[in-house]
Structure 1
């Protein structure tokens, strides 16, 4: 069982919203209006851990170990939403998300193959780690810079936890798991082929609600994410290369192969299909 060790390792790394966030260092002169608004939208986006957890528990009823891990992941992701909202509550209460805005992103996701979903969320954590690093660099107000640093580190640890479950899945399901992980890995690392951010909150998950079936589509300003990435934090090609590199390095280790490029991974994916 992985839950026991993951619980203790994540518990040791846990930061306190009361004791570790330097609230007294807040400098209103260093927080711009556009920066404050992005904090609101990220707070709402983080709240999406609620429907995601409901999905994970539904689709992994046969896996009590992973379902137990969801208790940690859900707690820490909701804490991300809460600390961003606490920042706004203290310093920009006019921008704090309403309960209606938060509830708007709680909707049912269609059932999906659990191995592909696991890989999708692993890639999402790798990507979010880098997004939040850039957010910390872009912001000028010291308290929110520290908060985004905490969030980035948490997302990196979550990615590591998902990777452990991926390793276990390879031992349990063999080729089926390898095919699922390689397929989603190629998709999530092929950023040059798509015009939108490749992250679970920006993917369609409910056919009946289409096109209002992504988390981002249900935010007060659905187009904010692309603007945040392209214009504000400037998540450019070198930044994207770090995401792709992180996915390829971890899959190289997982499969005991060497993937220097997405093309290498795609060739491996095709070899699994023909083996």
Structure 2
């Protein structure tokens, strides 16, 4: 089992919201209304770990090890929402999300293949690591800069934990797992389409389309794109860091020198040939 050791390693790295955050260094002159609004949106987005956890537990009933790990992941992700809300409660209470706004991002996700979902969330953690690094640079107020740096490090550790479960999946399922991971990897590492692709920005409930993404249920559904493009300026250089992180880890996972999405696409096609699978035709279900 991976859960016991992952619990120990994440427990050692865990920070205390009351003792480890330098609340006394808050400088009101260095935070703007625009920045406070983005903190609120991030807090609500982090709260969506609740429906994601419900999805993981439902779709991984066969895997008690991974399901147990969800107890740690869920706790730490909800703690991210809480520390952002604590910041607002202390310094700008008018921006604290309401219970209704938080509950609005809790909805059922359609069932999905467990291996592909695992890969999707691994990529999401790699992306969030860089988003929060950039957010820490963009913010000017010392306490929130410190908080975003903490969150970035947490997301990096979560990505490492997901990678361990991906490695275990390859041991158990071989090329089936490799194909699932490479399929999602091609999508997430393609710089032409990958921008802003994250679990909270993908459609997850067909019956409620188009209001079936976490972002579409925020008080400001268009916030994410503005945050990335106009506020933290998550440009091509930063996007490449996301792609590099995905490719570097997949290279290690597959034991192959993969540098670009094209490399990964060729590898995926070789796996499909090996397994006797064909590309879905246009309009068909993959």
Deviations 1:177-215 (A, max 9, x none): 000000000001113136x51000000000011000000
Write the mapping of 1:184-263 to structure 2, written as runs, cut at 5 A: 184-193=184-193, 197-263=196-262
Q: CA RMSD in A?
A: 0.6
The structural deviation recorded for 1:56 is 0.1
Write the mapping of 1:53-92 to structure 2, written as runs, cut at 5 A: 53-92=53-92
SS in 2 for 1:43: helix
Deviations 1:105-157 (A, max 9, x none): 00000000000000000000000000000000000000000000000000000
Q: TM-score, normalised by structure 1?
A: 0.99
Specify the alignment match of 1:112 in structure 2: 112
SS in 1 for 2:192: helix
SS in 1 for 2:94: helix
Q: Which whole-Å CA distance do the structure 2 matches of 1:158 and 1:42 have between them? A: 18
Q: Which whole-Å CA distance do the structure 2 matches of 1:32 and 1:193 have between them? A: 32
Q: Which whole-Å CA distance do the structure 1 matches of 2:193 and 2:150 have between them? A: 31
Specify the alignment match of 1:9 in structure 2: 9
Q: Is the 8 A contact 2:179 2:271 kept in 1?
A: yes
Q: Is the 8 A contact 2:61 2:67 kept in 1?
A: yes
Q: Is the 8 A contact 2:187 2:193 kept in 1?
A: no
Deviations 1:27-53 (A, max 9, x none): 000001100000000000000000000
Give every structure 1 segment of 4 or more consecutive aligned residues whose post-TM-superposition deviation is greater than 3 Å: none
Q: TM-score, normalised by structure 2?
A: 0.95
Specify the alignment match of 2:264 in structure 1: 265
Q: Which whole-Å CA distance do the structure 1 matches of 2:264 and 2:197 have between them? A: 17
Q: Which whole-Å CA distance do the structure 2 matches of 1:121 and 1:107 have between them? A: 18
Q: Which whole-Å CA distance do the structure 2 matches of 1:204 and 1:155 have between them? A: 22
Q: Is the 8 A contact 2:191 2:240 kept in 1?
A: no
Specify the alignment match of 2:176 in structure 1: 176
Specify the alignment match of 2:164 in structure 1: 164
Q: Which whole-Å CA distance do the structure 2 matches of 1:178 and 1:186 have between them? A: 12
Report how many aligned residue pairs link the two structures: 274
Extract unaligned runs of 5+ from structure 1.
Answer: none
SS in 2 for 1:192: coil
